[in-house]
Amino acid sequence: MTTTSTGPRALSSFSPSCSCTAVKTFGASGSTGGPGGPIPGSGIHVSQVNNTWIENMTAQHYKAGSGNGFYWTGVDGYWGNYLTAYDNGDYGVYAYDSQYGIFEHSYASGSPDSGFYIGQCNPCHAVITDVVSEYNLLGYSGSNSSGDLFLVNSNWWYAHDTDPLFMDPPVWMRIVTGLSAFVYPVFYVLLVISLFRGWNWIQLPSVIYATMIATITGVIVFGVEFFGEPEWITPNPVKFLAFNLPYVLIPILLLVRMRTPLPFARRF
């Protein structure tokens, strides 16, 4: 489905151009475009139709050529809401050379490129929020995109079926992840240099850091996700431990290495 037209501008003045329930279309066994095979084109392609709203639709198996699930090009004002893009040939939910857009409450899976894409826009004036992108080559891609572009409240593959604390993080969890993103990297750089140069003064900062990380992750986070309220308990403990156990084991190894005030005066 391709539509072409022009219309008024501005994200804030959306009026829906398309709001409907999708009919899943299948092509056809072994032939391009026939029943059971890859379907040519994209599920929905919106070209130069401003202020376009698409919601409550599923696009799947559009795999012939550069098939996408939902595709906007040259649009000023777009909204994709409650969309599912599954097993398409290129991207799942895709906006190219478009501005003033929102992708929200949507799911993309099985794309050989990214599940969600906003690109070739500067400024983009766009938001991706409350989406899940899994089993794609990339969760999100944004080539040549900048200017007022935000990815918020979204989890790519890991959190939605494994880590409830990241799906809806409480304030204390936001503080912990903020420290990890913006404070600890300075220590990491100094630690790596110290390990190579043998700077003994790194011993005390290392003990403080390792104790904090092992305690926060091993006691607080693990305690909440295994023994806390039902809404915080991980539904996938094996996957959770695979991602998070290193946050306990590596600080413990660092504590062992830094167990004396002059850690580099001995081999180990």
> What does the DSSP assignment read for 190-219?
HHHHHHHHT-GGGHHHHHHHHHHHHHIIII
Q: What is the pTM of this model?
A: 0.59
Identify the pLDDT of residue 37.
54
The pLDDT of residue 11 is: 42
Q: Which pLDDT tens digit goes with each residue over 14-50?
A: 444 444 433 333 333 333 444 445 556 899 999 999 9
Q: How far apart are CA 200 and CA 222, in angstroms?
A: 32
**In the structure encoding, which two tokens stand for residue 51, read together?**
């202020």
Per-residue confidence (pLDDT) for residue 213, from 0 to 100: 92
Q: Which pLDDT score, from 0 to 100, does residue 54 have?
A: 94
Low-confidence ranges of the chain (pLDDT < 70): 1-40, 154-157, 268
The per-residue pLDDT for 180 is: 87
- Give the torsion sign (CA, 176, 182, 183, 187): positive
Residue 160's pLDDT is 72
- Domain extents in the chain: 2-157, 167-265
Instruction: State the pLDDT at residue 104.
Output: 94
